Every structure is written in structure tokens, then in C-alpha cells.
Amino acid sequence: MNNLVLVVEDDKYISNFINMSLKQEGYGILSTINGNEALNLFYANNPDIVILDLGLPDIDGLDVIKKIREISNKPIIVVSARLEEQEKIKALDLGANDYVIKPFYMGELLARIRVAKRMLEMNNSEELNTFEKDYLYIDFISREVQIDHKNIHLTPIEFNLLKLLIEHRGKVLTHNYIQKRIWGYEDSSNQNALRVF
Ligand code: CA
């Protein structure tokens, strides 16, 4: 089945360019220029991937990420002219999967969409009860970790960190996001502890 991509971009030229290229690659497309309609389209059609501009005419693209993440883990790729590092971090913290700075080559965006598709397939194919890769084996139910078939002991925080990283493999996680997920709060003074772990 073809993946359905929601394209949220108010620049007509860029939007047409993205839509045409995606169509050529065989994707289904939903397209809008504003954030509220993007949310309605998302709720109504449950697209597989979202391509999102941050500077929209009605609501902030960051709010669109926030709203989508309340109900869904579908990949969100931000396409933005905003160059500030803080914006990028905010978008990633809110749960965006990737970030492409304008102007960009279509080939780059298509490659990132392929990465998002792989992530989507992994998310769909496995309820994460166990994980196995090379010498590492993890049972998430019994919380057992083996290296080369030997049990190793991890503290609860070490185990939770490992699990979080595996759940988000292929994705960049910020300090704040990890801290919120593992310790339950954001506190930049505690980042040394995270580094040690
Ligand atoms: Ca814009």
C-alpha cells in the first residue's frame, strides 16, 4: 500500500514542488497551507508521515507537533527556514523525528522520508517484548539483559535508558527529552548525571 503523506506548507512554490516529487515517487498526498486544517486532516485521515513547515499563517508549527504527539507516534519531518538552534531543539523535544532546513534538495527530503518509512515499519512490525542485535539481547518483560548470552546487571535507570534508546533507535534524542522520560522532569542542572549514565 502507498504511504499517505500530509504536507503542511504555506509557500505555494515549495508545496507544489514537494507534492509533485512525492506523487512521482508514488506517495499519496494530503496538502494544506495552515495548521488547524493540518490537524483536521490528520485526525480524519491518519496519514503515515507528516512534513511540516513551522512558520504557518494561523498557528505555530510547534503547536501542530504538540497536538499530533498527544495522539500519535507517526513520523513528523520539520521543513523550516528557521535557523535558530533553539527552534530545532524545541521541535525535537516536542517529538519531531527529523529537521530539514530550507532551502533543501528534494533528494535529501526523500531520503529522510525513506528513513521515516523504515521507522514506521519497525513500529508496526513489533510489539517490543524483546530486542536482539549482534551480541545484545534484551527481554523487556523480565528486564533481563544479556551480552554474548551472559546475563548482566543494570540498575533500573540504566535499564530504562537502554530501553528508551532502543525504542527511538535511528532518532536523535535531546537531553531534555531523555531527562523527562527517565527522571520525569526537566532540570538542566542534572545533565551531568545523564552524561554519566
Ligand atoms: Ca512558512
Residue 33 CA to ligand 1 center (angstroms) comes to: 8
Q: What whole-number distance in Å separates Cα of residue 104 and Cα of residue 189? A: 36
Q: What whole-number distance in Å separates Cα of residue 99 and Cα of residue 116? A: 12
Angle at alpha carbon of residue 143, lines to 137 and 147, rounded to 5°: 30
Residue 186 is predicted with a pLDDT of 66
Segment 136-155 shows an average pLDDT of 92
Residue 9 CA to ligand 1 center (angstroms) comes to: 6
Please tell me what DSSP assigns to residue 141: T
Residue 177 CA to ligand 1 center (angstroms) comes to: 26
User: Residues 26, 5: contact at Cβ < 8 Å?
Assistant: no
Residue 90 clears pLDDT 90, i.e. is over it:
yes
Residue 104 is predicted with a pLDDT of 92
pLDDT one-digit tens code per residue, 153-189: 999 889 989 988 888 877 778 888 788 778 776 666 6
Residue 10 is predicted with a pLDDT of 96
Q: What whole-number distance in Å separates Cα of residue 75 and Cα of residue 136? A: 27
Q: What are phi and psi of 2, to 5 degrees?
A: -70, 140
Residue 120 CA to ligand 1 center (angstroms) comes to: 26
Angle at alpha carbon of residue 190, lines to 189 and 194, rounded to 5°: 140
Work out the pLDDT band at 46, boundaries 50, 70, 90. Answer: confident
Residue 47 is predicted with a pLDDT of 92
Where is pLDDT greater, at 35 or 88? Answer: 35
Residue 113 CA to ligand 1 center (angstroms) comes to: 20
Average pLDDT of the chain? 89
Q: What whole-number distance in Å separates Cα of residue 117 and Cα of residue 78? A: 15
